[in-house]
Amino acid sequence: MQNFSYYNPTRILFGEGQIASIASHIPAHARVLVTYGGGSIRKNGVYDQVAAALAGLTWFEFGGIEPNPRYETLMRAVALARLERIDFVLAVGGGSVADGSKFIAAAARFEGEPWDILARHAPVHAALPLGVVLTLPATGSESNGFAVISREATGDKLSFGSEHCYPVFAVLDPRTTFSLPPRQVANGVVDAFVHTMEQYMTYPADAPLQDRFAEGILHTLIELGPQALARPDDYAVRASLMWSATLALNGLIGCGVPQDWATHMIGHEITAEFGLDHAQTLAVVLPGVLRARRADKRAKLLQYAARVWNRADGDEDARIEAAIVATERFFESLGVPTRLAAYGVAEAAAAPAKISARLAAHGFKALGEHGRITPAIAGEILAARL
Ligand code: NZQ
Ligand code: ZN
C-alpha cells in the first residue's frame, strides 16, 4: 500500500426523517443561505421539510442552480451571500447543487477573481461552512471536498478541491430519492460505478482491503441498480444505493492506491462540448479506456473479470474482453447508452479531434495512473466509441 493521508470531516446523518435534525448541526446564530436547483425539491416535499427544520434560524434562499452548475449563476449567489452576511450554506439537491454550493462557499471568502480557483488552481484558504441535504445518490460530493463548475461564457468545465469545502454534515434520507426520474437513477448508478473503477482499475498495489471494498461496491451497484429502477419506492434498495454512492467517492476506497480518473477528465470535456449528462459521458468513455489501456491494467482487469463478473477460466484476453462487454451491457441495461452516436451528437465524427484539442488547451496532457494518456490517445479512445 502507498503512503496516504486520509481526512473526512463530514458527519453523515443517514436515514428517514433526518432532515428534521439539521438545525442541531448549524450554529444557532448563523445566517443561513439555502441553495437549490431547478425546483425538484419544491415538488417532492424536501423544501418544506428543510423550511420546517430551519424554523427559528435566520435563513435566505437561492434557487436555480442548474445541472453542471454555472459560474455565472453561482456568482449571483456569492453576491447575495456577501450582501446578507451569510455564514452557513445549506445545499439541498444533487451533485450540481452540492458542487455549486462549495464554490459559493469558497468564492464568498476568496480575495480576487474566484474563477482563478478553477482556471489557475488558486489555493482556497477558507470557505463558509457548508451542509448538504442530498436528493440524488451519484457524485459523492456530499462527503468530499471536490466540485466541478462550468462557465457558460468560455464553455469550460473545470474542477477544484479543498479541505475547506468538505460539507460539515450531509443528510442522506433515501426517501428524498423516490421522486427521481429513471434517467437520474441510472446516471447515479453509472457515476458511482465509474468512481469505484477509477480508484480500483489500475494496477495491483498490495491493498487487498481497498480492492475488496471496491468490488463490494461494484457488486452492490450491479445488484441494486436494476432494482432501484424497477421499484422506485423500495426504501431498502434506495438506502443501500445511496450509501454505495457516498462510499464510492468519500476517499475511503482510494486510500493508498493508484488512481486513474482519465475517464472523468475526458468525460468533463464531452459534457462541456456536447452537453451529455456527466454519467452518460462516463458510460461512453470507460469501456474505451479499459480496452485502450488493457496492457497497463492487465492484472486488475483479470481480477475484475474473475471477482466481479465470474470469468475466471479460459483464455485471458477473452476473459478481459468479456468483462468489458459485461460492463457495457450493464450500463445499457440501465438505459445508459455506451456509444456517442446514441446521444444524437451532431458531427460526431469530429468529436475525437475536438475533445483532444480541449484536453490539450486545458493542459491535461498526461492522464491516467501512469500519465500515459495524451490528448491524442484520448482522441483515439473516443474514435473507438462513436
Ligand atoms: O435541479 P433540480 O430541479 O433539483 O433537478 C435535478 C436535476 O435536473 C434532478 N433531481 C435531483 N434530485 C432530484 C431530482 N429530481 C427529482 N427528484 C429528486 N430527488 O436531477 C437533475 C440532475 O441533478 P444533478 O445534481 O446535476 O446530478 P448529479 O448529482 O448527477 O450531479 C452531476 C454534477 O456533479 C459533478 C458532475 O460533473 C456534474 O456537474 N460531479 C461532481 C463530483 C464531486 N463533487 O465529487 C464528482 C463527479 O464525478 C461529478 O463530476
Ligand atoms: Zn463522476
Any ligand 1 atom below 6 A from CB of 158: no
For 36-52, give one letter per residue: b (16+ CB within 10 A) or e: bbeebbeebebbebbee
Measure 32 CA to ligand 1 centroid, in angstroms: 22
| pLDDT band of 347, cuts 50, 70, 90 | confident
pLDDT per residue over 22-47, tens digit each? 999 999 999 999 999 999 999 999 99
Kindly list the structural domains of the chain, giving each domain's residue range(s) and its CATH number in brackets, ordered by start.
11-176 (3.40.50.1970), 182-383 (1.20.1090.10)
* Residue 365 in grid coordinates: 496532457
Measure 139 CA to ligand 2 centroid, in angstroms: 5
Three-state DSSP class for residue 69: coil
CB 87 within 8 A of CB 130: no
* Residue 230 in grid coordinates: 424497477
Please check the confidence at residue 359 and state whether its pLDDT lies above 90: yes
Question: For position 238, what pLDDT does the model report?
Answer: 98
**Using CA atoms, how far apart are residues 140 and 132, in angstroms rounded to an integer?**
11
Stretch 149-157: mean pLDDT, rounded?
Answer: 96
Any ligand 1 atom below 6 A from CB of 162: no
Measure 191 CA to ligand 2 centroid, in angstroms: 5
pLDDT per residue over 304-341, tens digit each? 999 999 999 999 999 999 999 999 999 999 999 999 99
Please tell me the residue having the least CA distance from ligand 1 atom 11.
Answer: 94
Three-state DSSP class for residue 27: coil
**Location of C-alpha cell 471568502:** 109
pLDDT per residue over 226-262, tens digit each? 999 999 999 999 999 999 999 999 999 999 999 999 9
**Best mutation site among 46, 99, 199 for ligand 1 pocket (most ligand atoms within 8 Å of CB):** 99
Stretch 344-351: mean pLDDT, rounded?
Answer: 91
Any ligand 1 atom below 6 A from CB of 254: no
Question: For position 243, what pLDDT does the model report?
Answer: 98
Please tell me the residue having the least CA distance from ligand 1 atom 38.
Answer: 68
Question: For position 257, what pLDDT does the model report?
Answer: 98
**Location of C-alpha cell 475547506:** 164
Any ligand 1 atom below 6 A from CB of 164: no
Ligand of minimum distance to the alpha carbon of 158: 1
Please check the confidence at residue 271 and state whether its pLDDT lies above 90: yes
CB 218 within 8 A of CB 193: yes
**Using CA atoms, how far apart are residues 264 and 191, in angstroms rounded to an integer?**
10
Measure 95 CA to ligand 1 centroid, in angstroms: 4
Please check the confidence at residue 14 and state whether its pLDDT lies above 90: yes
| Nearest by Cα to 101 from 56, 50, 64 | 64
Any ligand 1 atom below 6 A from CB of 265: no
pLDDT per residue over 272-303, tens digit each? 999 999 999 999 999 999 999 999 999 999 99
Measure 115 CA to ligand 1 centroid, in angstroms: 21
CA-97 nearest atom, ligand 1: 25
Any ligand 1 atom below 6 A from CB of 93: yes
**Best mutation site among 118, 141, 266 for ligand 1 pocket (most ligand atoms within 8 Å of CB):** 141
Question: For position 201, what pLDDT does the model report?
Answer: 98
Stretch 195-213: mean pLDDT, rounded?
Answer: 98
Ligand of minimum distance to the alpha carbon of 146: 1
Count of residues in the chain: 386
Question: For position 346, what pLDDT does the model report?
Answer: 83
Name, in order, each residue with C-beta under 8 angstroms of 192's C-beta and a sequence gap of 6 or more: 137, 138, 140, 217, 221, 241, 244, 245, 248, 249
Helix, strand, coil proportions of the chain in percent (round to 5)?
50, 10, 35
Question: For position 250, what pLDDT does the model report?
Answer: 98
pLDDT over 70 for what percent of the chain? 100
CB 283 within 8 A of CB 270: no
Measure 257 CA to ligand 2 centroid, in angstroms: 18
